[in-house]
Structure 1
Amino acid sequence: MKINWGTGIVIAFICFISFIMYFIIKMNTDSKYDHDLVIEEYYQAELGFQDEIDKEENSNKLTENISWKKTEDGLIITFPENLDSQDITGKVSLYRTSNKKLDFDMPISISNNQMLIPNNKLLDGRWNLKVDWQYKETSYLYKKEIMY
């Protein structure tokens, strides 16, 4: 059977469309290709951005801000030395941009102006660290992208 050029073009279009449809279906059904939003309630969180800006400005006004370091035991978050650690409250959030199932929040629990997040909660890679804390009715926010 001889195929003319018109039939060849139709067959090529059908093959191309089938190829594209295969990848569309594969990307939508395979959980390996899940693309999650950073936060679920994005538009609700957008309303609180001015509060975050104010908290970050308060944090920038401190003479000494929060610092962090990676140790064998885990991630150590150090709060300013000039503040009384018993008056510090809030929470620490760690977000993994590649997998939202690894995200977690912890209440601030300080000893010697330091908080330890154990190694068993953290995988190697990029994390978004967010410390939302209060000291004597003033709110502060520390955000940092870290490589653990």
Structure 2
Amino acid sequence: MKFNWGTGIIIAFVLFISFIMYFVIKMNTNKIYDHDLVTKDYYKKELEYQSKINKAQKAKEKGFQLNVENIAEGLLITFPSEINVEEVTGEVFLYRPSNKKLDFNTILKLTNSTFLIPEEKLPSGRWNIEVDWSYHNEGFYYKKELSL
């Protein structure tokens, strides 16, 4: 068999395609390179997004803005002082964009105007916090990006 330019080009293409296919298969089968969507129910959450915008606007109009700060004990959420904290219900969702295994929900149980999320639940890094709460049967929403 005679080796010429055409044969060399064909061999180079076959080797290049094999190289690319190796990495495509490796990235799709290896769990280290997990490439899930941000959330499982992405489309359902997208439809609910307008209600969150309305709740956030209502909180702003009524002056029910939350204050979230990082302290030594953890993450401290402060509710407005003019509300009766025993009538507040809802949940806090903390979302870690880099690792969905660290995401968690917490039910709001207030005894005073503050709510503490312990430091041991929050490894360093970027977090998104969402507080979906209600007071006197009116829904309110708060969202913030944090770096701890």
Pick the TM interval, shorter chain. Answer: over 0.9
Q: Tell me the equivalent position of 1:84.
A: 84
Residue 90 of structure 1, CA deviation: 0.2
User: Alpha-carbon deviations, 1:96-144, whole Å to 9, x = none?
Assistant: 1111111100001223211110111111111110000001111000011
- Following TM superposition, the consecutive aligned residue runs of length 4 or more in structure 1 with deviations greater than 6 angstroms are none
Counterpart CA distance in 1 for 2:35 and 2:132 is: 26
Counterpart CA distance in 2 for 1:59 and 1:38 is: 26
Q: Tell me the equivalent position of 2:74.
A: 74
Residue 64 of structure 1, CA deviation: 4.7
Q: Tell me the equivalent position of 1:106.
A: 106
Q: Tell me the equivalent position of 1:24.
A: 24
Counterpart CA distance in 2 for 1:108 and 1:40 is: 24
Q: Tell me the equivalent position of 2:55.
A: 55
Tell me which amino acid in the other structure corresponds to 1:50: Q
Task: Give me the TM-score of the superposition, normalised by structure 2.
Answer: 0.93
Counterpart CA distance in 2 for 1:145 and 1:35 is: 22
User: Alpha-carbon deviations, 1:28-50, whole Å to 9, x = none?
Assistant: 01112112222211112222222
Unmatched runs of 5 consecutive residues or more in structure 1: none
Q: Is the 8 A contact 1:59 1:141 kept in 2?
A: yes
Name the SS of the counterpart of 1:133 in structure 2.
Answer: strand
1:136 aligns with 2:144: no
Unmatched runs of 5 consecutive residues or more in structure 2: none
Aligned residues with identical type, % of pairs: 50
Counterpart CA distance in 1 for 2:126 and 2:73 is: 18
Aligned-residue RMSD, C-alpha = 1.4
Residue 3 of structure 1, CA deviation: 2.9
Tell me which amino acid in the other structure corresponds to 1:6: G
